[in-house]
């Protein structure tokens, strides 16, 4: 069985927010600085997540990404990953984290079957990082990256949300980092999600600026797409150990190749990050038939594209949730 929407896009990728809690308070994720967290009794249980994934795998889901919030604040996450890794059909499990808890959990995560790591890091400057995250320490993230490298995680991707007043002056520094480290630095355009819509236009910066800076560093070429590589266009400088990627949700709409669904921490299936439309699945997590119906309904309601950055919306109502509530 295969999940195919009205525009013939095959869906084999499920992003699961395992918590909306986080130890940081990044400006683009929680604009007002306060996490409005879901009560524990309303969060998906491990058993519910596993059942939802099992049915998804029957329908063609092959890749999982666990997100948050900060997923490593969820208790016994390695055990959940180990269970998900045993599900027939699941070929790849990735994790998006701020990296701060990796020194403590990276080895358990690898043993559990985690195959990929994305680490969110929007500045290489100590004071700027503290300002963006409202309370983070850059050295803690570097410790997490070093631990992940030592354990042989590959690939390790560094997610950089580009914002005009925060970090465009650090583009060259991030790019030069890839020359000597086996990392993939991925620049992501800032998206107007939830409350972010009010301040989005002041901070949005297209990624053409990254290519301009890269041209001043040296020759680079685009790399071939790999399985489960996602929407990034990936490049590497001649002789570099690492690479850099560009993800253009605004300037180069990637909706035509979208293959993902999202499961929120409180148990809603979303077929598009931007729109309000979502399907409640927590209450039906133990019914295979109802979950199959929900997955197929997600294919029916999925729009052809989002309308991020446009003045007027034609396809629906933008989500009211912040990114921390949906899952990054």
- For the stretch 277-283, contacts whose Cβ atoms lie closer than 8 Å and that sit 24 or more positions apart, written own/partner, are 277/301, 277/316, 281/52, 282/42, 282/44, 282/48
Per-residue confidence (pLDDT) for residue 310, from 0 to 100: 58
- Which residues pair with residue 185 across a beta bridge? 158, 244
DSSP code of residue 275: B
For residues 61-83, give the mean pLDDT. 96
Distance separating alpha carbons of residues 235 and 78, to the nearest angstrom: 32
The whole-angstrom separation of Cα 268 and Cα 280 is 4
Report which secondary-structure segment, H or E, holds 54.
helix 46-58
The span from the CA of 75 to the CA of 72, in Å, is 7
Per-residue pLDDT tens digits for 266-317: 999 999 887 888 999 999 999 999 999 999 999 999 988 876 655 556 667 7
Matching CATH number, 3-326, of 3.40.50.12780, 1.10.10.10, 3.20.20.70, 3.40.630.190 = 3.20.20.70
CA distances from 315 to 195, 278, 299 (A): 19, 14, 15
Quote the strand ranges of 52-138, DSSP E. 63-67, 92-97, 116-120
Q: pLDDT over 90 for what percent of the chain? A: 69
State pLDDT tens for residues 124-141: 999 999 998 988 999 999
| 71-85, 162-176, 245-259, 273-287: segment of lowest average pLDDT | 245-259
Q: CB-based contacts of 238: which residues, under 8 Å, 6+ apart?
A: 218, 219, 220, 221
Q: Is the pLDDT of residue 12 over 90?
A: yes
In 3-state terms the chain splits into helix, strand, coil percentages (rounded to 5) of 35, 20, 45
Q: Averaged over 105-110, what is the pLDDT?
A: 98
Q: Which residues contact 282 (CB under 8 A, 6 or more apart)?
A: 42, 44, 48, 266, 267, 268
Q: How much is the mean pLDDT over the chain? A: 90
Q: Is 193 left (phi over 0), alpha (psi -120 to 50) or beta?
A: beta
Q: Do 220 and 214 form a contact (C-beta atoms < 8 A)?
A: yes
Residue 130 is predicted with a pLDDT of 93
Q: Cα 101–104–107 angle (5° rounding)?
A: 115
Per-residue pLDDT reduced to its tens digit, 183-200: 999 999 988 776 555 577
Q: Is 41 helix (H, G, I), strand (E, B) or coil?
A: helix
On whether the CB atoms of residues 90 and 62 are closer than 8 A, the answer is: yes
Structure tokens belonging to residue 61: 């889901």
Is the separation of the CB atoms in 264 and 251 below 8 Å?
A: no
The pLDDT value given to residue 323: 74
* pLDDT at residue 320, rounded to an integer: 76
* 201-213: pLDDT as tens digits: 788 899 999 999 9
**Domain boundaries along the sequence of the chain:** 3-326
Separation of alpha carbons 231 and 181, rounded Å: 22
Going by their DSSP bridges, the two strands 260-263 and 63-67 should be labelled as: unpaired
**Average pLDDT over every residue of 82-88:** 98
Q: b/e string for 246-273 if b means 16 or more Cβ within 10 A? A: bbbbbeeebbeebbbbbbbbbbbbbbbb
């Amino acid at each position: 069985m295969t999940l195919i929407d009205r525009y013939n896009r095959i869906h084999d990728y499920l992003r699961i927010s395992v918590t909306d809690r986080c130890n940081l308070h990044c400006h683009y994720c929680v604009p007002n600085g306060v996490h409005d967290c879901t009560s524990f009794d309303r969060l998906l249980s491990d058993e519910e997540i596993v059942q939802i994934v099992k049915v998804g795998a029957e329908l063609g889901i092959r890749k999982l990404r666990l997100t948050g919030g900060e997923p490593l604040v969820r208790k016994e996450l390695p055990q959940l990953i180990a269970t998900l890794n045993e599900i027939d059909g699941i070929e790849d499990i990735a994790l998006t984290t701020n990296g701060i808890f990796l020194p403590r959990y990276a080895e358990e995560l690898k043993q559990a079957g985690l195959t990929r790591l994305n680490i969110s890091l929007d500045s290489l400057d100590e004071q700027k990082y503290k300002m963006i995250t409202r309370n983070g320490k850059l050295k803690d993230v570097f410790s997490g990256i070093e631990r992940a490298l030592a354990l042989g995680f590959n690939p390790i991707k560094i997610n950089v949300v580009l914002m005009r007043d925060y970090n465009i002056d650090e583009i060259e520094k991030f790019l030069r980092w890839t020359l000597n480290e086996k990392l993939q630095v991925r620049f992501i355009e800032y998206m107007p999600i939830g409350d972010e819509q009010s301040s989005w236009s002041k901070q949005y910066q297209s990624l053409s600026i990254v290519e301009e800076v890269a041209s001043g560093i040296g020759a680079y070429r685009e790399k071939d797409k790999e399985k489960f590589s996602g929407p990034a266009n990936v490049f590497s400088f001649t002789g570099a150990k690492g690479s850099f990627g560009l993800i253009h949700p605004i300037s180069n709409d990637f909706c035509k190749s979208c293959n993902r669904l999202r499961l929120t921490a409180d148990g809603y299936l979303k077929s598009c990050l931007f729109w309000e439309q979502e399907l409640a699945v927590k209450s039906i997590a133990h019914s295979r038939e109802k979950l199959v119906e929900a997955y197929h309904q997600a294919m029916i309601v999925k729009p052809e594209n989002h309308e991020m950055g446009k003045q007027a919306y034609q396809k629906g109502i933008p989500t009211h949730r912040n990114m921390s509530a949906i899952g990054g």
